[in-house]
Amino acid sequence: MNPVPDLTLEERIVQVDAKLDQLLQMHSYAESGGAEHFLKRENDYLHQALEMSDRQKVLLQQELTHYQHSVQSLEQQRQELQTELTQVRQILIQQETQIEILRQALTQSQDYAQEIEAQLAQVQKRKEETEASAKPRLEGIFPEILAEKLGISTAEVFQQWRAGELQGWHLGRDQRFYPAR
């Protein structure tokens, strides 16, 4: 007899009554030849239960295999997404760095543009001041023409100028002579 778990007295009595009923039923079948039929039916029932259990085991094994493949696939996808996320983060960091470099370059360009505008304003102011001055613009004389006016050769004009003897005239950058002021 199987060990009986801790049951109350009433529960034990109910179990024993059920067993007695079963034994009496088997005894009555045995007397009428039904015990063999009863045992065969019980045996068939156990075989069917075992077959169903085996089928359930196969189905559960297939389901487990399917879930394992799904878990592996999901893990692979997770790793791929993690790698992609890492790459996207690196790209974002690079882009942020490039944006910062561009901001600095823009600031420098704006500063440079302001400097150029200030210089242009100064040049414009000087130009306006120069144009506003009442001084007539002096026209330079080519050395040949000055030589003709003075009645000497062009070479003598340059010799006198170098010697400081050509009073009242100075040589400009354009190689023309201008009256001294």
112-134 tens-digit pLDDT: 999 999 999 999 988 887 777 65
Higher pLDDT, 171 or 32: 171
On the question of pLDDT at 141 being above 70, the answer is yes
On the question of pLDDT at 158 being above 80, the answer is yes
Q: 0.75 cut: is pTM over it?
A: no
SS3 175: coil
pLDDT of residue 10: 84
Structure tokens at 151: 């009645």
- The residue ranges of every structural domain in the chain are 9-131, 136-179
On the question of pLDDT at 82 being above 70, the answer is yes
Structure tokens at 29: 């079948």
- Give the pLDDT band of residue 159 (cuts 50, 70, 90): confident
Per-residue pLDDT reduced to its tens digit, 66-81: 999 999 999 999 999 9
Per-residue pLDDT reduced to its tens digit, 6-39: 778 888 888 888 888 888 877 776 666 665 676 7
SS3 94: helix
**Cβ count near 29 (within 10 Å):** 15
**Cβ count near 1 (within 10 Å):** 4
**Cβ count near 166 (within 10 Å):** 20
